[in-house]
A and B are shown apart, each in its own frame.
Chain A
Amino acid sequence: MENNVSKSVVENILEVKNLRTYFYTDNGIVKAVDGVNFNLKKGETLGIVGETGSGKSITALTILGLITIPPGKIESGEIIFDGQDLLKLKINNLKHFRGNRISMIFQDPMTSLNPVFTIGNQLIESILTHQKISKKEAYQKALDLLDMVGISDKKRRMKSYPHEFSGGMRQRAMIAMAIANSPSILIADEPTTALDVTIQAQILELIDNLKNKTNSSVILITHDLGVIAKYASRVMVMYAGKPVEFASINDIFYNSIHPYTLGLIGSVSKLNEEKKERLKPIKGTPPSLIDLPKGCTFAPRCKYAIKICKESFPPSIEEESGHFAACFRAKEFLNKSLSRD
């Protein structure tokens, strides 16, 4: 996975290289993100999947510089956006990117909006933070944004407080804020987990439509492989802070070469029917991020594990074009000498 970046044809809008974000806690060092590499192409939706605690949110928060330091620390890595390494920027420069070039939508719209300011106030604030226009113009823009995210009765809604909105409406308002400055990248961290099933599809459609309209890129973080199958073009599968497989959506679903991914897919029954289910993965639990086992972190749960898997962590290798996996037996899966059952 180390050098996928240079090979890509379509323009990369974001390149994340060897990113490590650790937390120094009283109990030890939590290696929340431990060597993440990926690139995001212009106009694509990149999915990130993995069990809870695998480091998906921390990866996203690190990109925007939203990790609290201490206890967090960025141990290594580069986040190249627009020719600059975001990790090298001072916070005063980084804030011009946040909410402007790169926006984020969070999991829980119930708690992500400030309860004591009106929706209008928070929306206009997003606009005025990055655009030098008058309040009146910003107000007009805010109305347009509410239109775009499908909130009707706009003038009254501007004066409403978050608690007067339903969960779906709040997430729409969050999205309106996120796209207020036409960002190049929208990071959606489980944007629908807190919502009703019927609303989930609407919100995902909305994000997808907006992405297509503005030709921006989306990083879609989710537990839901069905969602990934429907909206993403490429997927990064994470396990215990590390990317274990990274490939196109087709390769992941029909030609996976990593036992963890295989387990994930196997656990979602009847994917074709788009039955949305939470991941109920493989037997066993993920390792504690403090005392990571020597060798492959997945080996203790892996039914294909062999001796070497317990000894060192497999490097991420591009096994076929655009298909990366960190598994000693990936080649065997690839040439079908090892059957995936």
Chain B
Amino acid sequence: MFYYILKRILQIIPVIIGITILLFVLMYIIPEDPARLILEKGATPQALQNLREKMGIDKPIYVQYWRYIKQLAKGDLGTSYRYRRSVNSILAEHYPNSIKLAFAAIIIETIIGILAGIISAVRKYSFLDVLVTISTTILVCIPVYWLGMLLQIGLGLKLHWLPMSGMGDGSIKYYILPAITLASVSTAFVARITRSTMLDVLSNDYIRTAYAKGLSNNSVIYKHALKNALIPVVTYIGIDLGTLMGGAILTETIFAWPGVGRTIYLAILQRDAPVVIGGTIILVLIFVFLNLIVDIIYAFLDPRIRLEGGSSLDL
């Protein structure tokens, strides 16, 4: 287990190198001069040139890249062109907001998605099953920004039940609309995955054995079937958690949520390369880390999976 985790952590290094090279090249191609972003309009060519030299951006790309990597190794993500603050502090300020929103969404998709999936599997072809099938189809089809705006206008603007945007004082009511919006598609997917794996699991021989033992319907479904059915669901939710952390750009923008998705989005518009690259690196790290956690949970749920390289001998 330990070796497995170590191996997975070491695998992150080539991923980071690949991502940074890609982003560096992309940002380099953009014909925008960072010095002009930083200095006022009408700055003298001399002043611009001085700044470029100071920032090192007059050097060839590989020299810049090497400098960045050395800096990165020390944990420094550089300085934002736009805000002239360290990228570390900008991200540290916005990341927690994204994480909180992502967790709110995950809670919604886990609880509602799994419950809906179980109900529609257990009561196959019933009214509830049809209802779940129709609503998941709708959720998957409608665009996220459309759903977000609909909720915003309906529950926020017209009915005044919930705040329309922003984080306010960070109380729960600010989370509800963006979290629902963010969770919508995933909830539908979780419900569908749960339904199909549950139906699959329920046709297994060991379910018949469980009934033959005299267990109640609830024990069979919530103990014997669910633990087996959850294995693929947990995988999906884990990967989704990574996606939600960085993929909340649309939702964060619609609801003016001060998270990292919106920060990266604004940074792209403003050609603020250090923020884009730094933000992405953090996203990747979190993504990889969450996948590792999912693998560990997976091994816990399914005893047949032994994490390779592990020494889980029965002693």
Contact = CB atoms under 8 A, between A and B. Distances in A.
A207 to B, nearest CB: 16
Contacts of B303: 115-116, 118, 161, 163
Contacts of B205: 106, 108, 111-112
B212 A104 contact: yes
Nearest to B217: A91
A3 B219 CA distance: 40
Interface in A104-144: 104, 106, 108, 111-118, 125-126, 129-130
Contact of B208 (A66, A95, A97, A117): A66
B216 A95 contact: yes
A129 B213 contact: yes
B70 interface: no
Contacts of A111: 204-206
Interface string B209-221: 1111111110100
Given A115-B206, A115-B228, A159 B314 contact: yes
Contact of A116 (B213, B217, B301): B301
Contacts of A116: 227-228, 231, 301-303
B208 A106 contact: yes
**Which of B208, B211, B212, B314 has the most chain A CB atoms closer than 10 A to its own CB?**
B212
A7 interface: no
A125 B214 CA distance: 10
The range of chain B's interface size is 20 to 34
Nearest to A94: B214
Contact of A98 (B214, B224, B227, B304): B214
Contacts of A126: 213
A340 B314 CA distance: 60
B212 A64 contact: yes
Given A115-B228, A156-B314, A106 B215 contact: no
Contacts of B302: 115-116
A61 B219 CA distance: 20
A114 B210 contact: yes
The range of chain A's interface size is 20 to 34
Contacts of A97: 214
Nearest to A96: B214
A99 B304 contact: no
B215 A129 contact: yes
Interface string B185-227: 0000000000000000000111011111111110100001001
B228 A113 contact: no
B304 A106 contact: no
B72 to A, nearest CB: 42
B209 A106 contact: yes
B209 A112 contact: yes
A213 B288 CA distance: 58
**Which of A91, A114, A126, A129 has the most chain B CB atoms closer than 10 A to its own CB?**
A114
Contacts of A59: none
A152 to B, nearest CB: 15
Interface in B260-313: 301-304
A177 B213 CA distance: 8
A200 interface: no
A164 B209 CA distance: 19
**Which of A97, A112, A116 has the most chain B CB atoms closer than 10 A to its own CB?**
A116
B147 to A, nearest CB: 36
A95 B214 contact: yes
A45 interface: no
B211 A66 contact: yes
B208 A160 contact: no
A101 to B, nearest CB: 9
29 contacts: A64-B212, A91-B217, A95-B211, A95-B214, A97-B214, A98-B212, A98-B213, A98-B214, A106-B205, A108-B205, A111-B206, A113-B206, A114-B206, A114-B209, A114-B210, A114-B228, A115-B303, A116-B227, A126-B213, A129-B214, A129-B219, A156-B314, A160-B314, A161-B303, A163-B303, A163-B304, A164-B314, A174-B209, A177-B209
Interface of A: 61, 64, 66, 91, 95-100, 103-104, 106, 108, 111-118, 125-126, 129-130, 156, 159-161, 163-164, 174, 177
3 cross-chain pairs, A with B, having the tightest CB-CB distances, nearest first: A99-B213, A98-B214, A99-B214
Given A106-B208, A116-B302, A161-B303, 18 more contacts: A61-B208, A91-B217, A95-B211, A95-B215, A95-B216, A96-B214, A98-B213, A100-B214, A114-B206, A115-B228, A116-B227, A116-B301, A117-B224, A126-B213, A129-B214, A129-B215, A159-B314, A163-B304
